[in-house]
Structure 1
């Protein structure tokens, strides 16, 4: 079975990479950055985000993802709209990690506990017990 925290966090990073690429295209027109700098920097950040999604199962993977959230929010210094967009993705990142951890904990408790036939399993009805 797949690790829910890893799947949700990787999804956030990949979608964030797509948004960063589009933001780089906007930045080349709305900022004083040259096309090469804006698009090249955005593409590089997008590649790092995708790579980070692939290393979430390794030590430090979630720290890298968290660091990248700070970097994406910091791009708001160049393109102010990225403060909001980066903040939304940082919130999604926190939600993915927190909820994923909760799902993992609940799944471990379920499989290590009484299981489906236990007192609170799917077969239980109101008034059982």
Structure 2
């Protein structure tokens, strides 16, 4: 799950970065506010990459997704991008957990084979 979720979050960092550049030109919001909010979101995404396997990280990721969708108030294109990334986040969590279960089953089977002495 870690790899898929981290990939989604890093993708979001780039989207937020580019959206901030666009928002500076297309909105009347001050540059300080745009970069303050964008910087906080980007920092949150990067920090969450490092703690994705910890308890409570997935709900924090969902909060980031809702925040990304909410940025559509300033830049309407972000509604669509936010929904797309929320879908990617769901896929990353859902399929990442399935992959983790499969890896654990394979690891368990390998340990059992080594215990019994059957060559792989």
TM-score scaled to structure 2, two decimals? 0.84
Aligned length: 113
Residue in structure 2 matched with residue 73 of structure 1 by the alignment: 69
CA–CA separation in structure 2 for the residues paired with 1:78 and 1:64: 22
Query: Alignment partner for residue 95 of structure 2, among 92, 99, 114?
Result: 99
Q: Structure 2: state its 5+ residue gaps.
A: 114-120
CA–CA separation in structure 2 for the residues paired with 1:104 and 1:58: 14
- Bigger radius of gyration, 1 or 2? 1
SS of aligned partner of 1:46: helix
Q: Deviations over 1:46-78 (max 9, x none)?
A: 111111111112211111111101100111111
Q: CA RMSD in A?
A: 1.9
TM-score scaled to structure 1, two decimals? 0.79
Distance 1:46 1:110, change over 3 A: same
Task: Give the Å deviation of 1:114.
Answer: 8.1
Residue in structure 2 matched with residue 63 of structure 1 by the alignment: 59
